[in-house]
Structure 1
Amino acid sequence: MSQQGSGGNVIAALCNIFFPGLGQLVQGRILAALVFAILVFGGYALWFLVVPAVIGAVFHLWAIIDAARYRSGG
């Protein structure tokens, strides 16, 4: 997509704030988007067990940072 820190990566990171994995989907990384969405929503769904919710929050933050720092391989 774009260089690290570019406008596209900023938009992707903002998308991840509201819906985990959406930023990766915007960047065209379907597998990463699915993995982040499943891990985050799975962790948040088990909030009452505390540990999965913390893990979900960590993956949510990781998804945001991953989208912001992404560099295309081309």
Structure 2
Amino acid sequence: MSAGPGSAGNVIAALCSLFIPGLGQLVQGRILAAIFYLLLAGVLWLVTFTLLGWLGNLIACIDAALYRPRR
């Protein structure tokens, strides 16, 4: 689906991960990465009780945006 950083597929995946961490990785077919980012953001939200949880969302978003599939 995605050809590399900046492609339409990666932009859509990044937007998905911004709102639900790991969803963008799931859209890209990266199941383990999706689970990891969902758990990371969940832990940050639950443990810190602050807006630090957005850091997990942002990291997942950046990862989805910069993903380049191996050929």
Q: Which runs of 5+ in 1 are unaligned?
A: none
TM-score by length of 2: 0.86
TM-score by length of 1: 0.83
What amino acid maps onto 2:59 in structure 1? W
Deviation at 1:33, TM superposition (A): 0.5
Q: Which runs of 5+ in 2 are unaligned?
A: none
The percent of aligned pairs where both chains have the same amino acid is 51
List structure 1 segments (4+ residues) > 4 angstroms apart after TM superposition: none
Q: Which is higher, the Rg of structure 1 or of structure 2? A: 1
- In the alignment of these two chains, the number of paired residues is 70
Higher helix share: 1
What amino acid maps onto 1:20 in structure 2? P
Matches within 5 A, 1:1-74: 1-48=2-49, 50=50, 54=52, 56-74=53-71
Deviation at 1:47, TM superposition (A): 3.3
Deviations 1:1-53 (A, max 9, x none): 322100000000010111000000000111110000001012112233x5xx6
Let me know the Cα RMSD of the aligned residues.
1.5
